[in-house]
Structure formats: C-alpha cells, structure tokens
Amino acid sequence: MRHKIKKQNFGRKQGPKKALVRGLVNSLVEHGRIRTTLTKAKFMRRYVEKAITQGKAGTVHARRQLFAKYPNENTVKTIVDDLSVRFKERPGGYTRVIKLGPRPGDMADMAYIEFVDYKLPEVNEETSAKAEKEEAKRQKVLSAAKQAKKKRLRQIQNQSRRLNR
C-alpha cells in the first residue's frame, strides 16, 4: 500500500505536467521573473537550477540536452550564453521564491520566482507620466470609435425596422 505518498502532479498527467514545466522555465528565462503559485514556483525551481548547471558546461552536448528538454532556441541560447556566464562562480541557488500571499479568486498562495541577480527596471516619473497621457488619449479614441460604431448600428437597425413594417 502507498500510504501518505504525495506526488506533485498538479492534477495533470505526465505530458501536460511536462508542458507546464517547459512553459514556466521558458517564461522565467525570457523575463527573469514570473508570478505563479507557490507550489509551481517551488516545483519548477529544481528544473531551472539543473538547466543552468547543465548550461555551465557550454558544450554542444549540453546545448543539445537542454534543447531536448526545452525545445526553444532562445531559451537554450539564453541559458548557455547569458545565465551560465552570470552564475559561473556561484555553486547553486540561482533562483529565489518570494511569497506574495493568497490570490483573491481562489485563495491560492502566490509567489514571484526570480533569478538572484534580478533587478527591477527603473521607472522615470517623466516617462511614466508621458505613458499615462498617451494611454488616456488612446482610451479616448477607442471610446469615441466605440460610440460611433454603436450609432451606426442603431441607424442600420432603425432602417431595417422601417423596411419590415
């Protein structure tokens, strides 16, 4: 009997679970930091750490093995050329998990998983104010277009009603 054996399969079979891990690793390597559930973050951490350790070799064999696990050329290239060079002197522990608290919808514990040397992008007040103004203009144009579309639709409906009387 298999009492109290807990497997982390996230309610998925092997194929979908493998696809989930691939997607999470690809996103983390691409963005440097992702927000996910605490369980998924802790689970995928081992895969990212092993991939970076494998990428430290920098050989063709290592690249091919990484490509077999994560079939995304950009991911493999980033792991071998960028991440393994950044963490060359570090013996392990390339990622950290930061707990965020429960998600409002289903109360699942959320967390950030990021690389240890991750730095938040700096935001200038001038550029953020400019971006807000541009977003407001864009919203105004979109709402005007939406209203014009509604008006045209009402006109067509009125014409149709008159014809059908």
User: Which tens digits make up the pLDDT trace of 5-37?
Assistant: 777 778 888 999 999 999 999 999 999 999 999
Radius of gyration for the alpha carbons in the chain, expressed in angstroms and rounded: 24
Statement: residue 127 has pLDDT above 80: no
For residue 71, give the nearest of 114, 18, 115, 34 by alpha carbon: 18
Strands of the sheet containing 33-37, edge to edge, are: 33-37, 109-115, 95-102
Tell me the average pLDDT across 136-150: 92
**Cα separation of the two ends of the chain:** 76
pTM equals 0.71
Token pair of 161 as six digits = 């009603």
Other Cβ atoms within 10 Å of 75 Cβ, number: 22
Cα→Cα distances 109→16, 59, 89, 90, Å: 22, 39, 33, 29
Inter-residue contact 94 to 82 (CB < 8 Å): no
Tell me the average pLDDT across 140-160: 92
Question: If you average pLDDT over every residue of the chain, what do you get?
Answer: 91
Statement: residue 47 has pLDDT above 80: yes
Other Cβ atoms within 10 Å of 54 Cβ, number: 19
* Alpha-carbon gap, residue 145 to 130, rounded angstroms: 23
* Alpha-carbon gap, residue 10 to 7, rounded angstroms: 9
Task: Say which residue, 85 or 123, is predicted with more confidence.
Answer: 85
Interval 50-100: pLDDT, tens: 999 999 999 999 999 999 999 999 999 999 999 999 999 999 999 999 999
In percent, how much of the chain has pLDDT > 70?
98
pLDDT of residue 130: 83
